[in-house]
Amino acid sequence: MSDQQPAISPEDLENAMRKMPAPVAVIGAAHEGILGGLTAAWVTRVSLDPPLLLVAVGHERFSWGLMSGSDQFTVSLPTEEQVPEARLFGLKSRRDVDKWSQVDHVLLGEGIPALEYCTARFLCRKTDVFTTGDHDCFVGLVIDAQTVGELPALPMRGGDYAPTNE
């Protein structure tokens, strides 16, 4: 057993990790004219001064390549009414479908897509990338922040995203 592996069963670890509260965010990326995006629950604020957000993206994700090649990315916080949009970006790959063509969106900054209708959205300039296990953490300086709607943001509930009334 390596020093980094906990002495816990994978099932127990996964069950416990699913109890950790997390936001649901749709991450927008673009590189060389290709728009991509994914749903991420591993998103957090890391600093207020300067304002920084961190997004963890798995190396196997198509959007990982787009984010690696771009200086900017967006973070959109879907509302509790946007479960279908969250599932679209979480369950489909850009390798197979152009997800942005199926939702209303805006382009921010250097043409980076973001949900048009959501609770809030952020445009970030990538300032750092570092590897943690099977994910890269993209740190972005918030260069634009918009409150779009008043509905609550969609939370992660266990292994799925669902409104609080479900």
- SS3 per residue for 53-84: EEEEEECCCHHHHHHHCCCEEEEEECECCCHH
What does the DSSP 8-state code read for residue 99?
G
Positive or negative, the Cα torsion across 148, 47, 112, 136? negative
How far apart are alpha carbons 75 and 13 in whole angstroms? 28
Domain ranges of the chain: 22-148
Contact 109, 123 (CB under 8 A): yes
Give the mean pLDDT of 140-154.
Answer: 92
CATH topology for 22-148 is Pnp Oxidase; Chain A (2.30.110)
Query: pLDDT (tens digit, 9 = 90+) per residue, 35-87?
Result: 999 999 889 999 999 999 999 998 888 788 888 999 999 999 999 899 899 99
**pTM strictly above 0.75:** yes
pLDDT of residue 91: 80
Which range of 56-70, 117-131, 143-157 scores highest in mean pLDDT? It is 117-131
CA angle 127/133/139 to nearest 5° reads 15
